[in-house]
Chains A and B, each alone.
Chain A
């Protein structure tokens, strides 16, 4: 054995204390930029199919509910039902365009493609990786959230100037749900487990948010529970922005979405660190 190994063996007799697991706190924009660039390049390959599903699905919901239920219900909460559902479907579009790619895309990249192992060999840490992924999905889903509004406008929706805030609401919502999807992808034992998540979590989230019907007609405990549904706050903010509803106070809803995004981001970082770093 070499001299260095022999001297090392002597040192090994009194092993060093375990190194700290914590990483430096500073997040580098260039690290985020590297991951975002990758997502952008991949998106340029698949933007047609990605955009098709993200736009067409909520549009079908909008038209089916708007004209189907709208034929039976003229007005809800003082607005035409098509307008009511048109604004509600914005939130659903953002939810679908964020949580699904975050769950499935992140899982596939981690478990099957091992993409993150490659990225984390570069000077990127897990916080930066998670942040960039959630940011990308958030921006994309926030943009897709405009599609139902455009469709509803073709059928008579006349939004106020504050409609310009809808993409920001969508991005904030999308970031939170993307982080939630990333977190879930780090805890499910297999890709098939997402079936439970969709049935037990995603479906109640978008149905019990005031998207297709007002919550006040539901049993009191369900309506009260909706306050903790982040999508409810998105729906309220979008309706407030589009119609400028008198008396609506956006601050609580914004704080609700911010708290949700912060909580899910933290959970996603912890979850991904657990599965990506041995």
Chain B
């Protein structure tokens, strides 16, 4: 892969499952060395996109390149240089932590003389060295998730694909995993992470691609996306249904996007509105405002 070559390039990629189009003419380029967050609700096409990148799904149309290898023809070469952390836990329950890592070190062709050190490094990275001989079925949920990441890193991949890495985990474990991902990102590993947690994308990703209905509908650095779509401030208005409907009409007349948020109406780009449009509070705009604004969907 040359210095200017993207780590990932998808061009006009479509994937259908019967009548359902999971990925629809998707274009996506990921430069080497960044962390890209694929942000979208369930069914947006994120997981299918991740499977396309390992050739576990084959595109019906379009071209997929990973680390300079055209998929699916050169998928083994691409997978040898990539690590995958699946959304669904598929660890071998019967094995110990170290045995699992050894199995994958072999599957990833880590040379025999480097295998022990590769396993030790992966254990260290995932903070599982003390659990090396523990059977996987005795690990906590957080440890299992860390082991999944260690397993995907045992061969020092250039590209790490994380599919919903923290789904279903408690906040503390999520924070631990975020630290691990930041460490990898800072070490120069290209990371592609699908998530439906907006704060996760905001925290970890250099670049966020917002997906809906199988397409990337916008992309950019989180702060740039916020500035572009939601401005600096959001005014959250409260009141009865009639007052809120009136405020919405007024905001739109001023060219300001709005979103319904439970018993409130949030007005985007509300800098300088102060008390106009009715009672409420002003807060800084966040990525969630962008997501709702561009997808028309509330985050799940």
Interface residues of chain A, those whose CB is within 8 Å of chain B, are 1-2, 4-5, 7-9, 11-12, 14-24, 28, 30-31, 33-35, 37-38, 41-42, 45-46, 113-115, 117-125, 276-278
Contact = CB atoms under 8 A, between A and B. Distances in A.
Nearest to B54: A121
Given A1-B218, A2-B220, A278-B58, A8 B11 contact: yes
Nearest to B161: A121
Given A16-B11, A121-B84, A277-B56, A37 B76 contact: no
- 4 nearest A-B residue pairs (beta carbon): A8-B27, A278-B57, A121-B84, A114-B90
Contacts of B95: 41-42, 45
B39 interface: no
A4 B92 contact: no
B273 interface: no
B62 A23 contact: no
B77 interface: yes
B93 A113 contact: yes
A2 B28 CA distance: 10
Contacts of B90: 113-115, 117-118
Given A35-B107, A37-B103, A123-B107, A16 B56 contact: no
At the interface, is chain B mostly helix, strand, loop or mixed? Answer: mixed
Contacts of B219: 1-2, 4-5
B67 interface: no
B107 A18 contact: no
A276 B90 CA distance: 14
A45 B137 CA distance: 14
Interface in B6-43: 11-12, 14-15, 17, 25, 27-29
Between B70, B99, B217, the greatest number of chain A beta carbons within 10 A of the residue's beta carbon is seen for B99
Interface string B130-154: 0000000000000000000001100
A34 B172 CA distance: 35
Contact of A4 (B29, B74, B76, B94): B29
Contact of A30 (B72, B73, B77, B109): B109
Contacts of A37: 102-103, 106
A4 to B, nearest CB: 5
Contacts of B99: 41
A147 to B, nearest CB: 24
B120 interface: no
Given A8-B11, A121-B79, A122-B108, A38 B92 contact: yes
B92 A16 contact: no
Give the bracket for the number of chain B residues in contact with chain A. 35 or more
A19 B64 contact: yes
Contacts of B108: 34, 122-123
B144 to A, nearest CB: 13
A277 B72 CA distance: 11
Contacts of A15: 12, 14, 25, 61-62
A116 to B, nearest CB: 8
Contact of B58 (A8, A19, A117): A19
A197 B299 CA distance: 46
A61 to B, nearest CB: 29
Interface string B55-98: 11111111110000011111111011000101011111111000
A34 B58 contact: no
Max count, chain A CB within 10 A of own CB: residue among B12, B84, B88, B151: B12
Given A42-B95, A46-B94, A278 B15 contact: yes
B104 interface: yes
Residue among B62, B64, B71, B88 with the highest chain A CB neighbour number at 10 A: B62
Contacts of A8: 11-12, 27-29
B216 interface: yes
Contacts of B77: 123
Contact of A277 (B58, B88, B91): B58
Nearest to A41: B99
A265 to B, nearest CB: 20
Given A5-B27, A12-B27, A28-B76, 7 more contacts: A8-B27, A34-B106, A34-B107, A35-B107, A117-B90, A121-B86, A123-B79
A42 B99 CA distance: 9
A16 B61 contact: yes
B48 interface: yes
15 contacts: A1-B218, A5-B219, A11-B27, A15-B12, A15-B14, A20-B72, A21-B58, A22-B73, A46-B94, A114-B86, A118-B90, A120-B56, A278-B48, A278-B57, A278-B58
